A and B are shown apart, each in its own frame.
Chain A
Amino acid sequence: MSTAANIPPQFEIVDRPLDTQMTISMGPQHPSTHGVLRLELVLDGESVVKATPDIGYLHTGMEKLFEYRKYQQGIVITDRMDYLNPLGNNLAYVMAVEKLLQLEIPERAQIIRVLMCEMQRIASHLVWLGTHALDIGAMTVFFYAFREREKILNLIEAASGGRLTPSYFRIGGLMMDIPAGFERRVQQFIDDFPKAVKEFHTLVSGNRIFQKRTQGVGYISAEDAIDWGLSGPSLRGSGVALDIRRANPYCGYEKYDFEIPTELDCDVWARYMVRMREMLESHKIVIQALSRLQPGPVKADAPKIVLPDREAMKTHMDALIHHFLIVAEGFDVPAGEVYMPIEASKGELGVYVQSTGGPKPARVHFRGPSFVNLSALPHMSHGAMVADIVAIIGSLDIVLGEIDR
């Protein structure tokens, strides 16, 4: 029965005249919590009086680890944060360090970054779609979504060698150029994708059960959403047309033509529709990026920071020396602090890097969108049913790897 002793008074919302309340623990092994999230639910019958997220089960001290690794070694740690959007994490981190180093990134590298990030965004949204629908009871979508995601993962693997942990973006550019025939394979994906989205719509959007489970559930007004720091599709589902790609453009996003999808319903359904539309917008950006690809360098002209090409290393003495020094001792980054926000698949991913000079950062902090979005869950679950909680968690698209870090 109710053990609400340690709940601060301002969170006590509903009176308990009959004292029929019950506190149960949902997770951390619950399949619909997308990892190891635990919710402490105070229930009155089947309605939720209070939902308190309990996180930290996946905490591995990543931010601490950054301080003990060289700047370039930090990239592989970022892969493991939001593991559905590793390229976005790579991008935010390397751009923060590049900002400190004031590096100029070649045009081709910028375009490939945009191309890969947008494909990664689609892949991330596909996992969200599959698991969100699965949570609500529509199992088929999962297989269709993962079939499409597989195509993107194959492309990422072709470029970087890794499917989930690509570490493709490096400080000063890319690990290497895209392989031969990559454009053709991306083109193939581009041609097939709109049909797949149509399929998803026929599977999910018209489904009466899905509509009933999501419409009017998990309401959060635009004002509250901003107050709670929601970002990304979760914020745009409340009608706020905010996209970091437009607000503080990076990687040349200001040159791409795309819309910011918003929905006014402020509920789970709205967030669903925003993400579905966003996939097609990303698809649009991929097409534009692909058409802009011109031959050119993919690494900045900074031999003391960027690893030399393999061939140059074997034939040039100075390239070999630079390679050795970068790997063995790292490179010095000038003292200073930067905050680099990007629009990741889940919202504003901000990386704060503080340097006091030397080859290792003094502090690296990740503002994970999942972390902040999840903190609004208690607000959204006012008066919800237990089954609604599952839908609301799904609509926030959280990844515990990023929340716990």
Chain B
Amino acid sequence: MEEQKPQATILENQSDSNQEGKTPSLFAAALQREHSEWVASESQAFGEITIIVPREHIVAACAFLKSEPGLEFNFLADLCGFDRGPEEEPRFEVNYHLFSTTKFHRVRLKVLLNEDDAHVTTVTGIWRTANWHERETYDLFGVVFDEHPDLRRILLPDDWQGHALRKDFPLRGYEPYSLE
């Protein structure tokens, strides 16, 4: 569903592509033009674009994608976490699914986090809808969103131990939970 036309123009402008044999998407190219460090890598599969952004740049990259004319990602469709497993490093992924209500295109930004330092700065300042998504990700994965205005558990009780969607959390929990 991505428009093919703008990508063709990028192909002409961007000859020194750092992707082996692959054309960077319009969005990755725009990010890279703005700041060379914003794009760690990019992949295109199943008609979707995934851009891995270093975590210290995620807020700046999101703000740029939202405000840049022609991109206008004014809608944060989804934000969700993923645990690759306790033996993997980096262990956690945070996926930002961006959408434009005027251009109708989508892109996925991905931040990779190590287990011992699972911190990323919040994007609630850019889209207020990120508030609950980030709370959910914090609740279920234990990823901490720095500077979040209200980072509390959202689905599980406040006194819940552990983070339920981590791969090392057993399906039935550690012990029967009771509200007493």
Contact = CB atoms under 8 A, between A and B. Distances in A.
Contacts of B156: 56, 59
Nearest to B140: A63
Interface string A166-209: 00000000000000000000000000000000000000000000
Nearest to B97: A339
B49 to A, nearest CB: 11
B146 to A, nearest CB: 14
B21 interface: no
Contacts of A64: 164-165, 169, 171
Interface string A84-109: 00000000000000011010000000
How large, as a class, is the contact surface on chain B?
35 or more
7 contacts: A68-B171, A99-B46, A99-B47, A247-B104, A248-B106, A336-B46, A365-B78
A380 to B, nearest CB: 12
Nearest to A354: B82
Interface string B91-103: 0000101010100
Interface of B: 1, 45-48, 50, 74-78, 80, 82-83, 95, 97, 99, 101, 104, 106, 108, 127-129, 131-133, 140, 149-150, 153-157, 164-165, 169, 171
A242 B106 contact: no
Contacts of A337: 45, 48, 50, 95, 108
B128 to A, nearest CB: 5
B165 A341 contact: no
Given A99-B46, A338-B48, 18 more contacts: A55-B154, A68-B171, A99-B47, A226-B74, A229-B76, A248-B1, A248-B106, A337-B95, A337-B108, A352-B80, A354-B82, A362-B82, A363-B165, A367-B77, A367-B80, A371-B132, A372-B129, A376-B129
Contact of B46 (A240, A338, A350, A371): A338
A55 B135 CA distance: 12
A79 interface: no
B171 A350 contact: no
Contacts of A99: 46-47
Interface residues of A, number: 43
Nearest to B132: A375
Contacts of B83: 363
Given A61-B164, A102-B46, A372-B132, A341 B104 contact: no
A403 to B, nearest CB: 9
Contacts of A83: none
Nearest to B137: A365
A404 interface: yes
A229 B1 contact: no
Contacts of B165: 63-64, 363
A76 to B, nearest CB: 17
A296 interface: no
Given A59-B156, A64-B164, A375-B129, A350 B78 contact: yes
A65 interface: yes
A249 B47 CA distance: 13
Nearest 9 pairs of A and B residues by beta carbon: A229-B129, A367-B78, A247-B104, A365-B80, A375-B132, A56-B155, A59-B155, A363-B82, A248-B1
